[in-house]
Amino acid sequence: MSKPPPEQPNNPLHGITLKQIVTELVAHYGWQSLAQSIPINCFSHDPSIKSSLTFLRNTSWARERVEALYMQMLSELKS
């Protein structure tokens, strides 16, 4: 019998998928602004959610920047 995953009360991204993060960023900023904020090819050259997810799942530094931008967007929306 497996245990449920531990709660992560101090992790604001807990329970939020990478797909949800990218989708919300694209809806808020658009691909062009997203590519300017985080200059990676999957945002600037023929962008798609699928190609972005593939790249971000394999590239930790890019994922960290995307997550940081998402957190910044959430804090701006709360203000």
pTM, to two decimals:
0.84
Tell me the H-state helices in the chain.
Answer: 18-37, 41-44, 49-58, 60-78
Residue 60, in any domain of the structure: yes
Residue 50, in any domain of the structure: yes
What are the tens digits of pLDDT across the range 56-75? 999 999 999 999 999 999 99
Residue 3, in any domain of the structure: no
What are the tens digits of pLDDT across the range 17-33? 999 999 999 999 999 99
The radius of gyration computed from the CA coordinates of the chain, to the nearest angstrom, equals 14
Give the CATH number, domain containing residue 58.
Answer: 1.10.720.30
* Contact indicator for 23, 47 with CB cutoff of 8 Å: no
Q: How many domains does the chain fold into?
A: 1
Cα–Cα distance for residue pair 22/63, rounded to 1 Å: 10
Residue 2, in any domain of the structure: no
Cα–Cα distance for residue pair 20/48, rounded to 1 Å: 13
Residue 13, in any domain of the structure: no
Residue 10, in any domain of the structure: no
Give the range of the structural domain holding residue 47, as residue numbers without chain letter: 18-78
Residue 74, in any domain of the structure: yes
* Contact indicator for 38, 29 with CB cutoff of 8 Å: no
